[in-house]
């Protein structure tokens, strides 16, 4: 099934269940994708997290109920997912600059949630800093050694990349000389799902090794299984990598006829990589079938 159709199935599920608690994992299950992959594609398409979208749609649903029903505001608040009328009123006023009761008295049917706006920086990035057509190659099994952490990505409400990954890389690069039999010149960031019903991920800062004789203290080994990969060039500061990943998932993958294997994504840092530089070049690769 085409990714866009699967995302639409998930959205349709949300729309038919706005009066009930909606779990992110159930939305993804209905769409036939893992939670992380659904959230990744959804964020890339809308620049909004899935959790925020559900919250905004349930809030929008409350607008209709305020105007077309005689339900008590507390009942509308509960059906929108709020624990109390007070918390619902705060959220409503923060969004619309008036209370639910004021809105009901106004009878203003033209009040809508703020529409999604195009991100000018993203559009500039995909036109100038990404290889829009990837290099497709066959990756043989690769053995890596490095440090690992768990984190939440930009597609999650719990996004903590800035807290986790810079320190991981700093610690890894300080100790890279401890790794024996390393294939020097290229380092890898490995992004791997943990399980289907969570958006938490594992990340490894690592380097390829010819063989593993022993592991330095607190380091781990990672095997990258054989797979076909689509590799994209990212130009510019690594802090903008998310724009590249958004393009890969929202534009290229959706229209390529390929499927993500659910294997690990790879960040590839070679000789052209320069930290915190707009002249830097790195690559981002996804496993495909």
Q: Contact, 185 vs 268, CB < 8 A?
A: no
Q: What is the pLDDT of residues 34-81, one digit of tens each?
A: 999 999 999 988 888 999 899 888 988 898 899 889 999 999 999 999
Instruction: Give domain status of residue 116, yes or no.
Output: no
127 with 228, same domain: the answer is yes
CA 165 remoteness from chain centre: 15
CATH number at residue 175: 3.20.80.10
Count of domains forming the chain: 2
Answer yes or no: is pLDDT of 94 > 90: no
Helix (H) or strand (E) holding 92, with range, is helix 85-96
158 with 235, same domain: the answer is yes
Q: What is the pLDDT of residues 245-267, one digit of tens each?
A: 999 998 899 888 899 999 999 99
Give the global pTM. 0.86
Residue 266: CB atoms within 10 A of its CB come to: 22
User: Measured between alpha carbons, how far apart are the two ends of the chain, in Å?
Assistant: 14
State the pLDDT confidence band at 115, using cuts at 50, 70 and 90: very low
What is the domain extent for residue 198? 123-288
199 with 161, same domain: the answer is yes
Using DSSP, state whether 110 is helix, strand or coil: coil
34 with 139, same domain: the answer is no
151 with 62, same domain: the answer is no
Distances (CA, A) of 108 to 39, 70, 89, 112, 154: 33, 16, 17, 10, 35
Paired tokens of 257: 């006829």
Q: What is the pLDDT of residue 96?
A: 79
CB proximity list for 154: less than 8 A, separation 6 or greater: 43, 161, 242
């Amino acid at each position: 099934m085409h990714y866009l159709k699967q995302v639409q199935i998930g959205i349709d599920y949300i729309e038919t269940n706005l009066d009930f608690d909606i779990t992110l994992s159930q939305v993804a299950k209905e769409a036939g994708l893992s939670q992380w992959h659904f959230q990744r594609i959804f964020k890339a398409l809308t620049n909004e997290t899935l959790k925020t979208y559900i919250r905004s749609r349930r809030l929008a649903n409350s607008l209709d109920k305020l105007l077309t029903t005689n339900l008590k505001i507390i009942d509308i608040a509960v059906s929108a997912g709020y624990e109390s009328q007070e918390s619902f009123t705060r959220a409503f006023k923060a969004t619309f600059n008036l209370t639910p009761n004021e809105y009901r008295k106004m009878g203003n049917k033209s009040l809508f949630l703020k529409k999604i706006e195009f991100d000018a920086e993203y559009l500039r990035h995909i036109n100038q800093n990404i290889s829009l057509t990837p290099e497709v190659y066959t990756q043989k099994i690769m053995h890596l050694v490095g440090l690992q952490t768990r984190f939440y990505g930009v597609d999650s409400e719990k996004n903590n990349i800035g807290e986790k990954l810079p320190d991981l890389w700093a610690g890894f690069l300080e100790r890279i000389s401890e790794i024996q039999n390393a294939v020097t010149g290229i380092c890898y960031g490995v992004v791997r799902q943990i399980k289907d019903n969570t958006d938490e991920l594992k990340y490894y800062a690592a380097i390829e090794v010819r063989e593993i004789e022993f592991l330095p203290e607190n380091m781990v080994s990672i095997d990258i299984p054989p797979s076909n990969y689509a590799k994209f060039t990212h130009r510019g500061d690594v802090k903008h990598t998310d724009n590249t990943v958004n393009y890969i998932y929202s534009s290229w993958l959706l229209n390529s006829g390929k499927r993500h294997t659910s294997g690990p994504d790879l960040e590839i840092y070679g000789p052209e990589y320069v930290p915190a530089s707009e002249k830097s070049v790195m690559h981002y690769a996804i496993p495909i079938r």
